[in-house]
A and B are shown apart, each in its own frame.
Chain A
Amino acid sequence: MSREREPKRADAAGKTYALGAFFGEGRNEVIDPIPHAAALGIKVVRIEAGDATLRLDYRPEFVGDPSRGLVFGGVITTLMDQALGVAVSCGLEDLRPIATLDLRIDYLRPADPGKSLFARAQCYKVTRHVAFARAVAYDGAEDDPFANCMATFMLGTAMQGSEYVSALQEFARKTE
């Protein structure tokens, strides 16, 4: 690679983030390589350090309770898991593979049929091997969530030269 990358984005504490190049609004490059996220039509609303908001537009095939037109809980789990994964990846100072270790979701109320669903996830603690994150899902105001979620992620070894790193670097180059 001959071109020098832009310096990594620094936050107030002077930290740099491996995926800092993707911070901002609508930066879908981070989840575009994920086949199932693309299949559902999950979109990035906004990404900051350890903080990601994603959107999923309503589709009839997401319904679990046809008598009321309610989206199945598992679809919300997928949106939450995806938002949490992006928040954790974007909260790391180096690029590492991550894997969801566990996830618990509380269904506070049904989501309104037909509405777009949003999930905002925040990674609030990173240790050597584990990251901790939480998320809310909402269909209107963020302070009126319909679901709440807590999750932990295993962190792998920092990667260099893997296909995932190459793919992300390629996306980063295209968007510079």
Chain B
Amino acid sequence: MKAAEALAMMPYARYLGVEVRKSDSGRVFVLPFREDLVGNRWLPALHGGVVGAFLELVATGELFTQTEPGRVPKPIDFSVDFLRSAGPRPTQGKATIVKHGRRIANVRVIAWQTDENKPVAAGTGNFLL
């Protein structure tokens, strides 16, 4: 399945407005900024939960491209490191499938805003296929 089709299928991905683009370095997911995604309105900064949820969506979207149609990867666990506050601008994310086994996939995700070398968050998770 294509990543864009996977996102279109998930109501929560549509709610966040997550899109997918092709870049020179591979598939990039984009979370557009919206005022109602803010957690700290005095900074302002995106809600930590939104950043974590975006990482999980990027991991899931990437996995869908490697999974047989009709099968939904089920999350077993997910871990998020918050590295910088995410400001009022679009956030981008890229996933690496570290291992794609018969039953389990391990995925790493990184999210950044203006500079890919200055990530706002990193995540890793295991999924049941």
Interface residues of A (CB under 8 A from B): 33-39, 60-68, 71-75, 77-82, 85, 99-107, 110, 162-164
- Chain B residues contacting A33 (CB-CB under 8 Å) are 41
User: For this complex, into which size category does the number of interface residues on chain B fall?
Assistant: 35 or more
Residue among A77, A102, A106 with the highest chain B CB neighbour number at 10 A: A77
| Shortest Cβ gap from A90 to chain B (Å) | 17
- B71 to chain A: closest residue by CB: A67
- Chain A residues contacting B57 (CB-CB under 8 Å) are 72, 74
- Chain A residues contacting B74 (CB-CB under 8 Å) are 65, 107, 110
- Chain A residues contacting B54 (CB-CB under 8 Å) are 74
- A107 to chain B: closest residue by CB: B75
- In the bound assembly, the distance between CA atoms of A33 and B40 in angstroms comes to 8
- In the bound assembly, the distance between CA atoms of A104 and B81 in angstroms comes to 9
| Shortest Cβ gap from A156 to chain B (Å) | 11
Interface residues of B in 40-87 (CB under 8 A from A): 40-42, 46-50, 52-57, 60, 72, 74-82, 85
**Do A107 and B81 form a contact, CB below 8 Å, given A36-B39, A77-B52?**
no
- In the bound assembly, the distance between CA atoms of A60 and B12 in angstroms comes to 8
Q: Which of A37, A65, A100, A106 contacts B72 (CB 8 A)?
A: A65
Provide 26 A-B residue pairs closer than 8 Å at the C-beta atoms, listed in order of the A residue: A33-B41, A34-B40, A34-B41, A35-B39, A36-B39, A61-B11, A61-B14, A61-B15, A63-B12, A64-B60, A66-B10, A72-B53, A73-B56, A74-B12, A77-B52, A77-B56, A78-B53, A79-B49, A100-B48, A100-B80, A101-B81, A104-B79, A104-B80, A105-B78, A105-B79, A107-B78
